Amino acid sequence: MIHNIFFDLDRTLWDFEKNSEATLLQLFEQTKSVHQIPSFHKFHLTYKEINSSLWKKYGKGKISKDELRDTRFKNTFLKFGINNPELNEFFNEEYIRISPLQKQLFPNTKETLQSLKEEGYKMHVITNGFKEVQFTKLENCGLIDFFEVIVSSEEVGFNKPDIRIFNYAIEQAKAINDKSLMIGDDYEVDVIGAEKCGMKAVHFAPHLKVRNAAQEGRINDLIQLPEIIPFL
């Protein structure tokens, strides 16, 4: 029987893609006279590719938090032949400030969390995101009161899927591994990582068709979660 439920945040509860795009569009339009890149679409695709590559390196411990933040916009603008340190710094600082204030959640996020809370489950967050930013997101979206323990890889020193971050979160929550459930969008990072430390896990895949959520261990809408937990 599941007693404790651990959630990933970005791309599971908080719609990272939509919130990030809204922030970037705001900054792109605000600085058009400086960078003169004609297409936001091309800028956005380039940034996503570079940012994704940097996050993978960060997740494997190959680069630092500061290096990730300092190079993602610099490398994006260089792809367009723009070398402007002031522009890089503006995008970096404003993105960090504005992005966490965006409020787009996945459908049925609050409804699902409220339902699980009423059923008596203890809920927590395990995130590879940066600590100060993740707390801002949770507070600004009205989610923080649903969770008892919030663990970020930055404070622990290990990124998911390292089992040490899962075990640390379980210890902080005073939970038991095989009576705990992890939900996240990244199969390798969230699902495999959790299962390796003895937790049960559900893959959140909003863009995939799911025929039988309980059998597949996969959901495409958070509202399905309370229905399948008894079968896990």
Answer with the one of 66, 85, 101 that is the final residue of a domain.
101
Q: Write down the pLDDT at residue 227.
A: 94
Residues 123-136, mean pLDDT to the nearest whole number: 94
Q: What is the domain range of residue 94?
A: 16-101
Write the pLDDT tens digit of every residue in 58-86.
Answer: 988 899 989 999 999 999 999 999 999 99
- Counting residues of the chain whose pLDDT is more than 90, the rounded percentage is 91
Q: Are residues 43 and 89 in the same domain?
A: yes
Tens of pLDDT, residues 150-164: 999 999 999 999 999
Give me the CATH number covering residue 116. 3.40.50.1000
Do 193 and 80 sit in the same domain of this protein?
Answer: no
Same domain, 217 and 155: yes
133 plus 201 within the same structural domain: yes
How confident is the model over 101-129, as a mean pLDDT? 97
Q: Average per-residue pLDDT in the chain?
A: 96
Are residues 112 and 80 both part of a single domain? no
- Are residues 94 and 129 both part of a single domain? no
- Tell me the pLDDT band of 212, cut-offs 50, 70 and 90: confident
For range 36-65, the mean pLDDT: 94
This prediction's pTM: 0.93
Q: Is 116 found in the same domain as 84?
A: no
Which domain CATH number covers 94? Answer: 1.10.150.240
Q: Where does a domain end: 101, 127, 149?
A: 101
pLDDT tens digits, 180-194: 999 999 999 999 999
Tell whether 226 and 118 lie within a shared domain: yes
Q: Which of the four pLDDT bands, split at 50, 70 and 90, describes residue 57?
A: very high
- Are residue 117 and residue 75 in the same domain, yes or no? no
* Residue 132, pLDDT above cutoff 90: no
- pLDDT score of 211: 86
125 and 156 co-located in one domain: yes
Tell me: do 156 and 209 sit in the same domain: yes
Task: Please report the pLDDT score of residue 38 as a whole number.
Answer: 92
Judge if 138 and 187 occupy the same domain.
Answer: yes
Q: Is the peptide bond before 100 cis (omega within 30 degrees of 0)?
A: no
Residue 215 has pLDDT above 90, yes or no: no
Domain count, the chain: 2
Using the 3D structure, point to which of 54, 74, 101 is the last residue of a domain: 101
